[in-house]
Structure 1
Amino acid sequence: MRIDKYLWCTRYFKTRNLATTVCKKGHVRINGDVVKPSREVYPMDKITVRKNQIDYQLTVLDIPESRVGAKLVELYRKDTTPKEAFEHNELLQFAKDHYRKKGTGRPTKKDRRDIDEYLTDEDFKTADGAD
Protein backbone atom coordinates (compact mmCIF):
# COMPACT_ATOMS: atom_id res chain seq x y z
CA MET A 1 0.00 0.00 0.00
CA ARG A 2 1.21 3.55 -0.74
CA ILE A 3 2.39 5.63 2.21
CA ASP A 4 -0.10 8.43 1.54
CA LYS A 5 -2.96 5.97 1.43
CA TYR A 6 -1.70 4.23 4.58
CA LEU A 7 -1.58 7.50 6.54
CA TRP A 8 -5.10 8.33 5.36
CA CYS A 9 -6.39 4.81 6.19
CA THR A 10 -4.95 4.95 9.70
CA ARG A 11 -6.56 8.36 10.28
CA TYR A 12 -3.47 10.53 10.59
CA PHE A 13 -4.87 12.81 7.90
CA LYS A 14 -8.46 13.71 7.12
CA THR A 15 -8.01 13.44 3.34
CA ARG A 16 -5.63 11.53 1.15
CA ASN A 17 -4.73 14.78 -0.59
CA LEU A 18 -3.39 16.17 2.71
CA ALA A 19 -1.30 13.04 3.22
CA THR A 20 0.10 13.36 -0.32
CA THR A 21 0.99 17.01 0.24
CA VAL A 22 2.83 16.23 3.48
CA CYS A 23 4.81 13.50 1.73
CA LYS A 24 5.77 15.87 -1.08
CA LYS A 25 7.00 18.45 1.43
CA GLY A 26 9.36 15.87 2.95
CA HIS A 27 7.64 15.53 6.34
CA VAL A 28 7.32 11.73 6.09
CA ARG A 29 10.18 9.28 6.58
CA ILE A 30 10.25 5.51 6.37
CA ASN A 31 13.17 3.86 8.17
CA GLY A 32 14.94 7.24 8.22
CA ASP A 33 14.58 8.02 4.50
CA VAL A 34 12.45 10.87 3.13
CA VAL A 35 9.87 9.30 0.82
CA LYS A 36 7.54 10.22 -2.01
CA PRO A 37 3.78 9.60 -1.71
CA SER A 38 3.99 6.53 -3.95
CA ARG A 39 6.44 4.64 -1.70
CA GLU A 40 5.11 1.23 -0.64
CA VAL A 41 4.65 0.44 3.06
CA TYR A 42 5.30 -3.02 4.51
CA PRO A 43 4.73 -4.49 7.98
CA MET A 44 7.43 -3.60 10.55
CA ASP A 45 8.42 -0.38 8.73
CA LYS A 46 9.24 2.55 11.04
CA ILE A 47 7.43 5.72 9.92
CA THR A 48 8.08 9.26 11.18
CA VAL A 49 5.44 11.88 10.37
CA ARG A 50 5.85 15.59 11.16
CA LYS A 51 2.41 17.03 11.95
CA ASN A 52 1.55 20.11 14.07
CA GLN A 53 5.21 20.50 15.12
CA ILE A 54 5.25 16.96 16.55
CA ASP A 55 7.26 14.08 15.09
CA TYR A 56 4.92 11.09 15.35
CA GLN A 57 6.75 7.76 15.30
CA LEU A 58 4.81 4.73 14.10
CA THR A 59 5.48 1.08 13.47
CA VAL A 60 3.40 -0.62 10.77
CA LEU A 61 1.81 -3.79 12.16
CA ASP A 62 -0.48 -4.68 9.25
CA ILE A 63 -1.83 -3.19 6.04
CA PRO A 64 -5.57 -2.26 6.11
CA GLU A 65 -7.87 -2.98 3.18
CA SER A 66 -9.38 0.52 3.30
CA ARG A 67 -9.91 3.37 5.78
CA VAL A 68 -10.56 1.93 9.23
CA GLY A 69 -12.61 3.11 12.17
CA ALA A 70 -10.94 4.97 15.01
CA LYS A 71 -11.27 2.00 17.37
CA LEU A 72 -9.53 -0.36 14.92
CA VAL A 73 -6.50 1.81 14.16
CA GLU A 74 -4.39 0.12 16.86
CA LEU A 75 -4.58 -3.17 14.92
CA TYR A 76 -2.64 -1.66 12.02
CA ARG A 77 -0.03 0.56 13.68
CA LYS A 78 1.83 1.02 16.95
CA ASP A 79 2.40 4.61 18.08
CA THR A 80 5.87 4.96 19.66
CA THR A 81 5.90 8.76 19.90
CA PRO A 82 7.75 9.87 23.07
CA LYS A 83 5.75 11.87 25.60
CA GLU A 84 8.38 14.64 25.55
CA ALA A 85 7.21 15.60 22.06
CA PHE A 86 3.73 16.41 23.35
CA GLU A 87 5.10 18.27 26.41
CA HIS A 88 7.24 20.43 24.13
CA ASN A 89 4.13 21.31 22.11
CA GLU A 90 2.32 22.42 25.28
CA LEU A 91 5.23 24.70 26.18
CA LEU A 92 5.09 26.25 22.72
CA GLN A 93 1.40 26.98 23.20
CA PHE A 94 2.07 28.79 26.49
CA ALA A 95 4.75 30.88 24.79
CA LYS A 96 2.32 31.95 22.08
CA ASP A 97 -0.32 33.06 24.59
CA HIS A 98 1.92 35.61 26.31
CA TYR A 99 4.02 37.10 23.55
CA ARG A 100 4.64 40.45 25.26
CA LYS A 101 4.33 42.03 28.66
CA LYS A 102 1.40 44.28 29.48
CA GLY A 103 2.09 47.95 28.93
CA THR A 104 4.99 47.49 26.54
CA GLY A 105 4.82 48.32 22.90
CA ARG A 106 1.94 49.36 20.75
CA PRO A 107 -1.54 48.04 21.64
CA THR A 108 -2.81 45.20 19.50
CA LYS A 109 -6.18 45.22 17.80
CA LYS A 110 -7.58 43.10 20.62
CA ASP A 111 -6.21 45.56 23.21
CA ARG A 112 -7.82 48.46 21.37
CA ARG A 113 -11.18 46.70 21.26
CA ASP A 114 -10.96 45.97 24.98
CA ILE A 115 -10.24 49.64 25.67
CA ASP A 116 -13.14 50.75 23.45
CA GLU A 117 -15.45 48.35 25.27
CA TYR A 118 -14.33 49.72 28.62
CA LEU A 119 -14.85 53.35 27.70
CA THR A 120 -18.38 54.56 27.03
CA ASP A 121 -19.67 57.49 24.97
CA GLU A 122 -19.94 59.60 28.13
CA ASP A 123 -16.26 59.06 28.86
CA PHE A 124 -15.40 60.37 25.41
CA LYS A 125 -17.56 63.53 25.93
CA THR A 126 -15.98 64.38 29.28
CA ALA A 127 -12.51 63.79 27.91
CA ASP A 128 -13.13 66.30 25.09
CA GLY A 129 -14.47 68.90 27.52
CA ALA A 130 -17.82 69.16 25.75
CA ASP A 131 -20.95 68.98 27.93
Structure 2
Amino acid sequence: MDERLRIDKWLWAARFYKTRSLAVDEIGKGRVLVNGQPVKPAREVGPGDRVTVRKSDPPIEVIVQAVSRVRGPAAVAARLYEETDESVARRALAAEMRRLAPEPSLDYDAGRPTKRDRRILAAIRGK
Protein backbone atom coordinates (compact mmCIF):
# COMPACT_ATOMS: atom_id res chain seq x y z
CA MET A 1 0.00 0.00 0.00
CA ASP A 2 1.34 3.40 -1.00
CA GLU A 3 1.39 5.41 2.22
CA ARG A 4 0.84 9.13 1.63
CA LEU A 5 0.10 12.12 3.90
CA ARG A 6 -0.68 15.81 3.50
CA ILE A 7 2.49 17.93 3.40
CA ASP A 8 1.33 20.19 6.25
CA LYS A 9 0.72 17.19 8.51
CA TRP A 10 4.03 15.61 7.52
CA LEU A 11 6.00 18.82 8.24
CA TRP A 12 4.31 19.01 11.64
CA ALA A 13 4.95 15.33 12.45
CA ALA A 14 8.59 15.60 11.27
CA ARG A 15 9.01 18.60 13.62
CA PHE A 16 9.92 21.18 11.00
CA TYR A 17 7.15 23.41 12.41
CA LYS A 18 5.65 23.51 15.88
CA THR A 19 2.05 23.65 14.69
CA ARG A 20 0.18 22.68 11.55
CA SER A 21 -1.05 26.24 11.13
CA LEU A 22 2.57 27.49 11.03
CA ALA A 23 3.30 24.85 8.39
CA VAL A 24 0.27 25.97 6.36
CA ASP A 25 1.39 29.62 6.57
CA GLU A 26 4.91 28.77 5.36
CA ILE A 27 3.55 26.59 2.54
CA GLY A 28 1.28 29.47 1.51
CA LYS A 29 4.28 31.81 1.37
CA GLY A 30 6.03 29.43 -1.02
CA ARG A 31 8.76 28.43 1.42
CA VAL A 32 8.13 24.69 1.03
CA LEU A 33 8.76 22.87 -2.24
CA VAL A 34 8.05 19.25 -3.12
CA ASN A 35 10.17 17.85 -5.94
CA GLY A 36 11.15 21.42 -6.84
CA GLN A 37 7.57 22.68 -7.21
CA PRO A 38 5.62 25.03 -4.91
CA VAL A 39 2.70 23.21 -3.31
CA LYS A 40 -0.53 23.71 -1.43
CA PRO A 41 -1.09 22.34 2.10
CA ALA A 42 -3.26 19.47 0.82
CA ARG A 43 -0.50 18.09 -1.45
CA GLU A 44 0.29 14.53 -0.44
CA VAL A 45 3.84 13.31 0.03
CA GLY A 46 5.18 9.82 0.40
CA PRO A 47 8.47 7.97 0.62
CA GLY A 48 10.91 9.09 -2.05
CA ASP A 49 9.60 12.65 -2.42
CA ARG A 50 12.17 15.46 -2.13
CA VAL A 51 11.04 18.28 0.18
CA THR A 52 12.83 21.64 0.40
CA VAL A 53 12.11 23.77 3.47
CA ARG A 54 13.31 27.38 3.35
CA LYS A 55 13.11 27.90 7.10
CA SER A 56 16.65 29.23 7.38
CA ASP A 57 19.52 30.08 5.09
CA PRO A 58 20.54 27.84 3.38
CA PRO A 59 17.33 25.82 2.85
CA ILE A 60 17.08 22.28 4.18
CA GLU A 61 16.51 19.61 1.52
CA VAL A 62 15.28 16.20 2.66
CA ILE A 63 14.00 12.99 1.15
CA VAL A 64 10.86 11.58 2.75
CA GLN A 65 11.57 8.12 4.22
CA ALA A 66 8.27 7.49 6.00
CA VAL A 67 5.05 9.20 7.07
CA SER A 68 3.48 9.47 10.49
CA ARG A 69 0.05 10.71 11.38
CA VAL A 70 1.11 11.59 14.94
CA ARG A 71 3.78 13.94 16.25
CA GLY A 72 6.19 11.84 18.26
CA PRO A 73 9.52 12.43 19.98
CA ALA A 74 12.36 14.08 18.05
CA ALA A 75 14.19 10.76 17.69
CA VAL A 76 11.17 9.24 15.93
CA ALA A 77 10.60 12.38 13.82
CA ALA A 78 14.22 12.26 12.58
CA ARG A 79 13.53 8.84 11.05
CA LEU A 80 10.78 10.28 8.84
CA TYR A 81 13.33 11.92 6.54
CA GLU A 82 16.95 11.86 5.42
CA GLU A 83 18.77 15.10 4.64
CA THR A 84 20.54 15.09 1.28
CA ASP A 85 24.34 15.22 1.12
CA GLU A 86 24.24 18.53 -0.78
CA SER A 87 22.04 20.09 1.91
CA VAL A 88 24.36 18.90 4.70
CA ALA A 89 27.37 20.33 2.83
CA ARG A 90 25.63 23.69 2.23
CA ARG A 91 24.62 23.99 5.88
CA ALA A 92 28.16 23.08 7.05
CA LEU A 93 29.65 25.70 4.71
CA ALA A 94 27.21 28.34 5.96
CA ALA A 95 28.05 27.49 9.58
CA GLU A 96 31.77 27.79 8.81
CA MET A 97 31.22 31.15 7.08
CA ARG A 98 29.29 32.42 10.13
CA ARG A 99 32.10 31.20 12.38
CA LEU A 100 34.75 32.99 10.31
CA ALA A 101 32.78 36.22 9.86
CA PRO A 102 34.05 39.05 12.02
CA GLU A 103 31.90 40.16 14.92
CA PRO A 104 30.40 43.56 13.96
CA SER A 105 30.80 44.97 17.45
CA LEU A 106 34.58 44.47 17.27
CA ASP A 107 34.77 47.49 14.96
CA TYR A 108 34.13 49.69 17.97
CA ASP A 109 37.10 49.93 20.31
CA ALA A 110 35.29 51.17 23.38
CA GLY A 111 31.63 50.48 22.59
CA ARG A 112 29.17 53.37 22.54
CA PRO A 113 30.52 56.90 22.39
CA THR A 114 30.59 58.62 25.75
CA LYS A 115 29.01 62.00 26.38
CA ARG A 116 32.42 63.59 25.90
CA ASP A 117 32.89 61.74 22.58
CA ARG A 118 29.48 62.92 21.38
CA ARG A 119 30.35 66.55 22.24
CA ILE A 120 33.60 66.26 20.29
CA LEU A 121 31.76 64.75 17.30
CA ALA A 122 29.15 67.53 17.46
CA ALA A 123 31.90 70.15 17.51
CA ILE A 124 33.56 68.58 14.49
CA ARG A 125 30.26 68.52 12.61
CA GLY A 126 29.67 72.16 13.48
CA LYS A 127 26.59 71.74 15.66
Fold equivalence (TM over 0.5): yes
Q: Is the 8 Å Cα contact of residues 10 and 69 (structure 2) preserved in structure 1?
A: no
3-state SS of 1:111 partner: coil
Instruction: Point out the structure with max Rg over C-alpha.
Output: 1
Q: What is the match of residue 52 of structure 2?
A: 48
Give the whole-Å Cα distance in 2 for the aligned partners of 1:13 and 1:82: 19
Structure 1 runs (4+) greater than 3 angstroms displaced: 92-97
1:88 aligns with 2:94: yes
Q: What is the match of residue 68 of structure 1?
A: 72
Alignment of 1:1-131 (within 5 A): 1-80=5-84, 81-89=87-95, 91-92=97-98, 95=101, 97-98=103-104, 101-102=107-108, 111=112, 115=114
Amino acid corresponding to residue 83 of structure 2 in structure 1: D
Give the whole-Å Cα distance in 2 for the aligned partners of 1:96 and 1:36: 40
Shift of 1:11: 0.5
Give the whole-Å Cα distance in 2 for the aligned partners of 1:90 and 1:15: 31
Give the TM-score normalised by the residue count of structure 1.
Answer: 0.69
Structure 2, unmatched stretches of 5+, are 117-127
Amino acid corresponding to residue 17 of structure 2 in structure 1: F
Structure 1, unmatched stretches of 5+, are 104-109, 120-131
Output one character per residue of 1:52-83: Cα deviation in whole Å (capped at 9) or x when no partner: 22211111111112112111123211122222
In angstroms, what is the RMSD of aligned CA positions?
Answer: 2.7
3-state SS of 1:82 partner: helix
Q: Identity rate of aligned residues, in percent?
A: 32
Between the two structures, name the one with larger relative contact order (CA 8 Å, sep ≥ 6).
2
Amino acid corresponding to residue 51 of structure 1 in structure 2: K
Q: Is the 8 Å Cα contact of residues 10 and 76 (structure 1) preserved in structure 2?
A: yes
Q: Is the 8 Å Cα contact of residues 9 and 69 (structure 2) preserved in structure 1?
A: no
Number of residue pairs matched by the alignment: 110
Give the whole-Å Cα distance in 1 for the aligned partners of 2:92 and 2:21: 25
